[in-house]
Amino acid sequence: MPSFLDPAALMRIKSLELRAKVVVEGLWKGMHRSPYHGFSVEFSEYRAYVQGDDPRYIDWKVLARSDRTYIKKFEDETNLRCQLVIDHSKSMKFGSQGFTKADYAATLAATLASFLMKQGDAAGLTTFADGIEEHMPPRNRPGHLRRLITELERPAKAAGTSLELSVGQLADLLRKRGMICLITDLLAPIEHLERQLALLGAMGHDLVLFHLMDRAEIDFTFDKSAHFRDLESGTERFVDPHLARESYLQRLKAHRESIQAATDRHNVEYHFCPTDQPLEEVLFDFLSARQHRKSKIINHKS
């Protein structure tokens, strides 16, 4: 396994585009003749040309050879459509290592988009907090990546997180099937989300959930008593970390377990991403998981 770039060092690069490029290029070089590229189009069948078909798709070689007009039919006419759904709630503004979860999420999204578009796949972006904020449908056009990155760099507006509402709205927006990468800290009761995940799954979307957490959130590394202020609601609570840690960790564990269970139930690909985990590693995990999943599906079909 190649040595990956420390996220704290990576986040010091100011430009999000450059950050994404650094990660993707590093991964790309590392992969070389990697067997993983290619969820691109696959030839499906020929069919006779009928009036109204696009003449671009006429197989001219077959016409020259047999004087018949056939149209080359592919399994899917476009590449993979991936919708990156980013949590823009205020809780994402937390960070204990010099960068916030929102920074990490934006870099992760930019990296994914960059990687996908480099492969010829289409990437779209949706930001949400207590509802959908911005929505860019998946495309693979020159300049789209830049627009996507510009959108990612825009600061969050809303306060709270309403996964249920946001994902519900998303289901309305995404009519075509594709892959949905949900990047969130999931700081909301999972019960509300579960129903929406089931809906998206039923619609045929391929769901990937990136669960971001800061190290301070995972281990509760505070040691001084203080008034803890909720970034989303603004409410304050006096907490002595020495007393509260144990119950916090228990509850967090239960929360993560319930997420895990829910994702398993609804066939959602779940990635737990502490923000101190190198992005390449996340991406690598993601790709390998995809590959594993693909081979599973092929085996299942055969």
Partner 1 sequence: MSWLFPLYLAGAAAILAPILLHLRRRPPQDRVEFSSLLFLDAQTPVPVSKRRLENWLLLLLRCLALILLALMFSRPFWPSEQSATASASRATLILIDRSASMRREDLWQRAMAEAEKLVREAKITDRVAFAVFDRELKPLWTFDEDRQAPANRLTALKSRLEALSPTWAATHLDRALIAAVPSFDSSTATLQKRIHLISDLQEGAKLDALRSIAWPAEITLSLHRVEAAVQDNLSATLAARDTSDESARRADALVRLRLSNTRDSALRDFTLAWQNAPMAEAITAQLPPGASRILPAPPNATNATTLTLSGDKHDFDNRVFIAPPQPRTVRIHFLGKEATRDEASAPLYYLSRALQPTATLAPQLTADEKLPAQPADILFMVGNAPAEGVRDYLERGGFLVVAPSDASLLKSLGFDVTITPDTSDDYRMLAEVKTEHPLLKPFADPKLRDFTKLRFWKHRIIRDARTPARPSGLEILATFDNGHPAILSARLGKGTLIVLASGWHPADSQLALSTKFVPLLYGWLAAAGFSHDPAATLLVGDSLPLNAAQAQTITDPENKTHSLKLGETFTTSQLGLHKVQSAENTQIFAVNLSPEEGRVLPLEPAKLVEYGLKLSSSSEPQNESSTTDQRLTASDSEQRQHLWWWFLIGLLAVLLLETALAGRTRSALAS
Decide if 130 contacts 160 (C-beta within 8 A): yes
Nearer to partner 1, 93 or 118 (CB): 93
Report which DSSP code applies to 58: B
CA dist 209 and 189 (Å) reads: 15
In the bound complex, what is the minimum distance in angstroms from residue 252's beta carbon to partner 1? 5
B/e letters for 117-145, b = 16+ CB within 10 Å, e = fewer, are bebebbbbbbbbbbebbebbbbbbeeebb
Nearer to partner 1, 76 or 236 (CB): 236
Which residues are within 8 A (CB) of 207 and not within 5 positions of it... i.e. 6 or more apart? 179, 180, 182, 197, 200, 201, 266, 267, 268, 269
Binding mask of the shown chain, residues 124 to 153, with x at each position contacting partner 1 by CB under 8 A = ------------------------------
Our finding on whether 91 is near partner 1 (CB under 8 A) is yes
CA dist 162 and 159 (Å) reads: 10
Nearer to partner 1, 199 or 239 (CB): 239
In the bound complex, what is the minimum distance in angstroms from residue 237's beta carbon to partner 1? 4
In the bound complex, what is the minimum distance in angstroms from residue 257's beta carbon to partner 1? 13
Nearer to partner 1, 39 or 228 (CB): 228
Q: Where are the beta strands (DSSP E) in 63-215?
A: 70-74, 81-87, 122-128, 132-139, 179-184, 206-213
* Of residues 170-209, those binding partner 1 (CB under 8 A): 185, 187-188
Alpha carbons within 13 angstroms on the beta-carbon side of residue 159 total 6
Report which DSSP code applies to 49: -
Single-letter residue type at 293 = R
Contacts with partner 1 by CB under 8 A: the residue count is 34
* Of residues 220-279, those binding partner 1 (CB under 8 A): 222, 224-233, 235-240, 243-244, 247-248, 251-252, 255
Nearer to partner 1, 237 or 265 (CB): 237
Nearer to partner 1, 49 or 220 (CB): 220
CA dist 192 and 141 (Å) reads: 36
With CB under 8 A as the contact rule, the residue among 10, 16, 79, 94 that binds partner 1 is 94
In the bound complex, what is the minimum distance in angstroms from residue 71's beta carbon to partner 1? 54
In the bound complex, what is the minimum distance in angstroms from residue 192's beta carbon to partner 1? 13
**β-strand 132-139 against 236-239: which pairing, if any?**
unpaired
- Return residues touching partner 1 (CB under 8 A): 91-94, 101, 185, 187-188, 214, 217, 222, 224-233, 235-240, 243-244, 247-248, 251-252, 255
